[in-house]
Structure 1
Amino acid sequence: MATKTTTTAAKKTATKAAPKAPAKKAPAKAPRATSAKAATKPHTAATKGTTKAAAEANARAPRENSAQARVVEMLKAPGGATLDAIMAATGWQAHTVRGFISGTAKKKLGLAIESERVDGKRTYRL
């Protein structure tokens, strides 16, 4: 029995090793090099050789028979189109119609859209 105890005691002392040295940190990454041209030249329409007027002249037109084309035709009517009428014609939700008006129609298609409340309903027209 005494031999087992000494063997176990010897194992315990053998497993206690010297404290480990602190782990080395990975070297810090160097910042990415950028060319002087890219760092000094902003990305705008003017730097690409086009102006805002030229961009508007090259504005896209919606495809025929698409939901966008239907909405644009509705907006061309003398009274314009209400939010509810556009929603019914396209199957879009209200936030989708508003997003189309402000994002696609005004910015991408370059349309000048007027918005007003008539009898408590939002109406859009060109």
Structure 2
Amino acid sequence: MAKQTNKPSKSAAVTKMLSRANGATVGEIVKSTGWKEHSCRAFLTGIRKTSKLLKEQRPDGKTAYRIGAAEPGALD
């Protein structure tokens, strides 16, 4: 019998990424989870139903998503 590890779920890992100060882009979520882009966007929609999800423009022009309170300059 294979030893079971306590690896965090992909959704928990994405939630942790979204909780970072700079959030996460869809591309970062795809790379981390192996999900397709449409699956990442569907996950973000689910997060919107339970938390405040902020959409922010990074200096490099990429769009990042972050869980948290609104700050000046944040896009809703």
Separation in structure 1 between the aligned mates of residue 38 and residue 56 of structure 2, nearest angstrom: 17
**1:94 deviation in Å?**
1.1
Which structure 2 residues correspond to residues 110-125 of structure 1 after superposition, within 5 A? 110-118=50-58, 119-125=60-66
Which structure 2 residues correspond to residues 13-92 of structure 1 after superposition, within 5 A? 65-92=8-35
2:38 to 95, 98, 107: 95
Q: Which residue of 2 aligns with 1:35?
A: none
Rg comparison, structure with higher value: 1
Over the aligned positions, Cα root-mean-square deviation in angstroms equals 1.4
Tell me the number of residue pairs that the alignment of Structure 1 and Structure 2 aligns. 60
Q: TM-score, normalised by structure 2?
A: 0.70
Gaps of 5+ in 1: 1-63
Q: TM-score, normalised by structure 1?
A: 0.44
**1:93 deviation in Å?**
1.1
Q: Is the 8 A contact 1:115 1:125 kept in 2?
A: yes
Separation in structure 2 between the aligned mates of residue 81 and residue 101 of structure 1, nearest angstrom: 11
**What is the DSSP-based 3-state SS (H/G/I as helix, E as strand, rest coil) of the residue aligned with 1:123?**
strand
Gaps of 5+ in 2: 1-6, 68-76
Q: Identical aligned pairs, as a percentage? A: 37
Separation in structure 2 between the aligned mates of residue 83 and residue 120 of structure 1, nearest angstrom: 13
* Displaced runs of 4 or more, over 4 A: none
